[in-house]
Amino acid sequence: MARKPSKRGIYFQGPRLNLVAKEIKHTKLVNESDLDNLQRTAAEKMRTIVLTHIKNQDLRWKKLSNDYIKFKERNDLFEGHWIETGELAQRLKVHKSKDGQWYVGGGEDEKHGGSGLLVNHLIQIHEYGILNRGLPARPLFRPSAKELRDFIEKDSLKSLERIMSDNWKKMMKRLEKYKVK
């Protein structure tokens, strides 16, 4: 089934962290800037993971067709899939959407110079493929998201617990003045 292109990047930067953030936002144990920083850090980690996979070409994508390999050779083009120094890879940045979500991709209306398509549409084409046009899926974000989950569970959620604990202690200290003697 085809996916409808989005103006934003692919939101694999930490859905669990976003759910946790929504749940605790109203407790006042964590302020919004702490949550925002944790979400931004997770998105930055996602970008690092993605760029590392581009550099290493280590995700075992489907092989390029022989005709396309010959085309690339004739035109002195890189024979890999994603090009580390290519325009699309260079446009992978951490962005904050209008609704406050951090993501990795192009800006919401950023266009790719070579094709004129939105950068995020091209990212989705690579991620999911277009089978009726002979473009197989070459996932980059989905495998990277699996690695990001470990980071979120180990680092981000522990940081969140530490922040909540510190804020809880501060709140309890402030409440001591109301203690009945």
Mean pLDDT by 10 residues, the chain (181 residues): 46 50 57 78 90 89 83 80 78 87 86 83 88 85 85 69 67 64 57
pLDDT for residue 13: 43
Which helix (H) or strand (E) segment holds residue 148: the answer is helix 141-151
CA–CA separation, 44 vs 41, rounded Å? 5
104-130 per-residue burial string, b: 16 or more CB within 10 A, e: under 16: bbbbbeebbeeeeebbbbbbbbbbbbe
CA–CA separation, 147 vs 170, rounded Å? 34
pLDDT for residue 93: 92
CA–CA separation, 108 vs 131, rounded Å? 25
32 backbone φψ class: left, alpha, beta (φ>0; ψ -120 to 50):
alpha
